[in-house]
Structure formats: C-alpha cells, structure tokens
Amino acid sequence: MSKSSAAPIVRAIALTKQVNTGNIRLTILKDVSFEIRAGEAVAVVGVSGSGKSTLLGLVAGLDTPSAGRLMIDGVDLFALDEDGRAALRGRMVGFVFQTFQLLPAMTALENVMLPLELAGEPAARGAARAILERVGLRERLHHYPRQLSGGEQQRVAIARAFVTRPKLLLADEPTGNLDAATGAQIIDLMFELNRENHTTLLLVTHDEQISRRCARVLRLAGGMLQDT
C-alpha cells in the first residue's frame, strides 16, 4: 500500500487543552486537527508558549486533552487508561528530549538497554551495544552520563529512542541544550536513523533551518494551527 493511501499513523481531531490558573481558565491548544502519514517527517514550530510541547505531550499520551481525540496507528489513545497508554508508548513510540533524560546511575549501555529490558527483550545487551556503536559511542559504552559531553549524552538518548524500533519518534527541541556545531551533528544523525528505520518523525523545534529539513511543517500560534 502506498503512503498516500495508507491510514495516518497520527490523527488529531479538534484537540483542545485548557488549564486553570487561579480564577482564569487558560487555553493552551484550541481545536488542533492534523494527520501524519507513516514515514513522514513533520516539524511543529511556533514561538515560546504557542503550545508546541503541550501538543507533543498529548501525542505521547503523557497528558490528556480537555476535548478532542487522538488516534495513534488507528487506536483511540484517550479511550485507553493510563496503563494502556503506557503500553502503547512502549510498543510504538520513541522519545528524544532537550534535557536528554538519562538515568545518572546507569551507564550509556544500561540506559539504552532499559526500554528493551522493560519490554522483556532477551537480547537487550547486544541490541543496545549495536545501536550505540551506530551512533559513534563504541568507546563510551560503560561511561555514566556525567562522564559524557552534551552531544554524547544526546547520542545515548537517540540510541535509546531508536533501539526499540518505534513506529513513531517524538523529539522535543533535541538540540536546545547543544552548541550549533554539535546540534547540527545530532540532527544529521537523527534524520539518518529516521530514514534507516523508516520511522515517522514529529519534531518540535524553534529552529527554522531544522524545520525545513522536514517534509511538512505544522505552525502553532496562540495555541491554534495556522495554514502553512
């Protein structure tokens, strides 16, 4: 089946997120609807406070909407309970965060093994070693996060995200804590792995150069999706 005729891997339907701050009800996202086809690389852009990270949290099922629906690979995400959403994430979704989110008491190898071990994968060590070698960290397998540079930590995080071969990769400002040269290397690596693994990428960024590398851009302003 061609990509154009395949069902979308992500389908957002009138997603709205509101929060109460004192006596004021603040709308962070309003009636956001879009589809992402399998294999697409899509950027979410907008100024600070436009709702980018909130949208990514909803797609991940880490937050719940005030209204609207979200389908992930045909599954109604918010019809699932918290355990069901966690199971779907573990099965289908990889994450890369601005702040790396590595466990400090674990080595690079152990950090990458962790999602496989949680999934009961018997060959976790071999798979984790292979992906760490692929991202250029053959000599850093047994180093702890504090012993790694920012770029090396993000490479570990990328390896951890891809080691489970997710259908969907969610990246939230993955170069935000890196200098320009290191950030460019990390983005190159992420796009290479995305192509190699035929992953669908949803990338939040404020960097227009990075967004232009994606096939499509979703632009948020004031919590609403703008025509692009």
Strands 168-172 and 200-204: parallel
Tell me the torsion sign for CA atoms 218, 200, 15, 53. negative
Inside any domain, residue 21: no
Q: What is the rounded average pLDDT of the residues 125-148?
A: 96
Domain extent at residue 50: 40-62+83-226
Nearest-Å Rg of the Cα atoms of the chain is 18
Inside any domain, residue 31: no
The model's pLDDT over 186-206, given as tens digits with 9 standing for 90+, comes to 999 999 999 999 999 999 998
- Global pTM value: 0.88
CATH label of the domain that carries residue 205: 3.40.50.300
The model's pLDDT over 69-116, given as tens digits with 9 standing for 90+, comes to 999 999 999 999 999 999 998 889 999 988 899 999 999 999 999 999
- C-alpha distances in Å from residue 149, one per residue of 39, 69, 99, 103, 211: 31, 40, 13, 15, 25
Inside any domain, residue 130: yes
Inside any domain, residue 153: yes
